[in-house]
Amino acid sequence: MSRGLLLKSFIFRWPWLTAIVTGFFFGLIAAALAGENPFHVMRIMVMAAVGTPYDLGMTLVYTTPLIFSGLSVAVAYRAGLFNIGAEGQLVLGGMAATAVALRFGAQFPQFASSSSFAPMAIGMMLCGVAAAFIGGLTGLIIGYLRARRGSHEVVTSIMVNFLATAITSWLVLEKFHSVDTQNPETRPVAAAFKALAFGGFDGAPVTIWFVAGIVSALIVAIVFDRTLLGFHLRATGENSVAATFSGIDTGRQMMIAMALAGGLAGLAGLGDILGGSGRYRIGFSSDYGFTGIAVALLAGGQPLAVIASAFLFGALHKGALDLDFETDHVTRDLAMIIQGCVILFASARWFHRKKSS
């Protein structure tokens, strides 16, 4: 009885921790069933994720897009919307930034080839604005269709995801294709547009965009907790009928939320594109947009928790890569199993709320 109560209050107070623990537990059981020692598997994953500065750096590289896409889903979620379109928004945003960088670089080659402070700051700003604008516009269209035309955002988002992939593929192959490579990628952007990378990670391209992600999370948290706009978004999400009766234009809030969500998702790809090769490569995103849903879900829609949640999924992604050659029976797909279990337990309702009269 008392032990049951203790467990209950633990689950109640830390549902996310419960989700992580049970998720890993069942994931490792799967590993054990496949014939691996689960403790061995766990050690490999931890070492691969944070064992060396380089590994930690790569984990942060994977964390960066997940912070943005997680925030994107969280913002929409708090306003009562499900942004399944982060994937489309992030490829369009990434493409927009690349296009601007390439066009601008061609126009002002002198300026763009410099890697001193001013050009890089301007470069980062231009890319950021372009990505956020196009991503936000994509989100806004989805929000408009939902708020004013009544089309469900999940349906339109999925359609936009396909459109986004098609449009970017066409742009990469027909408009910005590199002549010196056979890969489906664009020409490299000029030096000024490369993202500033931090040393100390043995060459892992941890960029300024990681910091930008954390700053974005802080800003989103402040908007939600401290501003009237944040309240209007939350009220729309929590009880749109009451919000309407109190004079809030809930449709407008939906459009704002989706535009914000799209803008945040638009920035998600920049760390990868501008930090690594400096080229937009088709398929660069390993489902960052969709993993963002998992990130936001585990974080319960809380912007600051998104940072930690994104790190966990980043580490899981990086940690699982070594499983391919360090073990005999499991592959990196174990990360997907664990991720799935964590999400399952994060979205489980552990206790049904009793009716209070």
Partner 1 sequence: MPLLKNEHTETSKVRIELRDLTKSFGSVTANDSVSFHVGSGEILGLVGENGAGKSTCMNMLFGHIEPDRGTILVNGSEVRFRSPRDAIEAGIGMVHQHFLLALSLTGLEHLELVAGRGAKAYAVKAMRDLGFEFDLAARVEDLSVGQQQQLEILKVICQGARVIILDEPTAVLTPVEVEPFLERLRRLSESGHAVILISHKLDEVLRVCDRIAVMRSGRVTGTFDAASVSPEELAGSMIGEGITRVKAKTSRMEPGTIPVLKMTDYHLPAGRGALDVSLAVNDREIVGIAGVEGNGQEWLFKVILRIAPRQRGESGSISVAGRELTQLSAQKIRRAVRIALLPFDRRSEGLLLDGDPATNLLLSGVNPSSSRRVLAWGLLRSRALAFFSKYDIQPPRWTGPVRLLSGGNQQKFLVAREMEQEPALVLAAHPTRGVDFRSSQAIHETILSARGRGAAVLLVSSDMDELCKLSDRIMVMVRGKIAREFKRDRDGGFDVAGIGTSMVSGAQSGSAGEAPTGVTGGGAS
Q: Does 151 contact partner 1 by CB under 8 A?
A: no
Q: Does 255 contact partner 1 by CB under 8 A?
A: no
Considering the complex, what minimum distance in angstroms separates the CB of residue 234 from partner 1?
8
Q: Does 254 contact partner 1 by CB under 8 A?
A: no
Q: Does 9 contact partner 1 by CB under 8 A?
A: no
* Backbone φ, ψ for residue 248 (5° rounding): -90, 135
Q: Does 229 contact partner 1 by CB under 8 A?
A: yes
Beta bridge partners of 197: 207
Comparison of 204 and 299: residue with beta carbon closer to partner 1: 299
Comparison of 106 and 222: residue with beta carbon closer to partner 1: 222
91, 269 Cβ separation under 8 angstroms: yes
310, 262 Cβ separation under 8 angstroms: no
DSSP secondary structure of 188-207: PPPGGGSPPB-SSSTT---B
- What is the chain's length? 357
Q: Does 246 contact partner 1 by CB under 8 A?
A: yes
Q: Does 260 contact partner 1 by CB under 8 A?
A: no
Q: Does 245 contact partner 1 by CB under 8 A?
A: yes
Considering the complex, what minimum distance in angstroms separates the CB of residue 239 from partner 1?
5
Total binding residues toward partner 1, as defined by CB under 8 A? 24
Q: Which position has the token pair 């998720």?
A: 23
Chain centroid to Cα 163, Å, comes to 20
Considering the complex, what minimum distance in angstroms separates the CB of residue 245 from partner 1?
5
**Helix, coil or strand: residue 177:** strand
Considering the complex, what minimum distance in angstroms separates the CB of residue 231 from partner 1?
5
Determine the Cα–Cα distance for residues 13 and 17; give it in Å rounded to an integer: 9
Q: What is the 3-state secondary structure (H, E, C) of 149-165?
A: HCCCHHHHHHHHHHHHH
Comparison of 116 and 357: residue with beta carbon closer to partner 1: 357
291: which residues sit within 8 A by CB, 6+ positions away? 66, 69, 313, 317, 339
Among 3, 349, 352, 355, binds partner 1 (CB under 8 A): 355
Determine the Cα–Cα distance for residues 277 and 34; give it in Å rounded to an integer: 37
Among 228, 328, 349, 351, binds partner 1 (CB under 8 A): 228
Q: Could you give the string, one character per residue 188-227, with x where binding to partner 1 holds by CB under 8 A and - elsewhere? A: -------------------------------------xxx
Chain centroid to Cα 122, Å, comes to 24
Footprint on this chain of partner 1 (rule: CB under 8 A): 225-231, 234-235, 238-239, 241-249, 354-357
